[in-house]
Amino acid sequence: MKIKRIEHVAIAVRNLDAVRDTLGKLGITCDHEETLPEYAVRLAMLPIGESAIELLEPQSDTGGTAEWLKAKGESIYHLCLEVDDIDAALAELKAKQVKLLDEVPRSGHGGHRIAFIDPASTAGILFELVEMSGKH
């Protein structure tokens, strides 16, 4: 599996607008926002060089981001790694007996194909894999 770069660092936040505005004062500006109803989350992407900060604000009291905020407060939620071929990456990880939360890719931010690795296999760190589609 070839990792191309850290595509983004996701941060769980209670108020996306407030955090986005605060980061804007540091010169870190948003270039894309969207709501993903299937994950009950609103997100903003703030590029920095070849990577980005992704702000995640839950849109309900349930779901991964909402549960994270309840348990850990506002903090880094996951690291997203860009790969060339997500299907091949998942097959390789599965062959290496790495536990996966997603054995097949699903749609994520910007319509890209994503999958998550079980943090039980990665020292408690949640990693997302993404295959970029050419869109945001």
pLDDT digits (tens, 9 = 90+) for 5-17: 999 999 999 999 9
Q: Quote the pTM value.
A: 0.93
| CATH 3.10.180.10 corresponds to the domain 3-131 | yes
Q: Give the start-to-end residue ranges of the domains of the chain.
A: 3-131
Closest CA relative to residue 28, chosen from 44, 42, 15, 13: 44
Instruction: Kindly report, residue by residue over 85-108, the tens digit of the pLDDT.
Output: 999 999 999 999 999 999 999 999
Its sign, for the CA torsion 123, 97, 82, 73, is negative
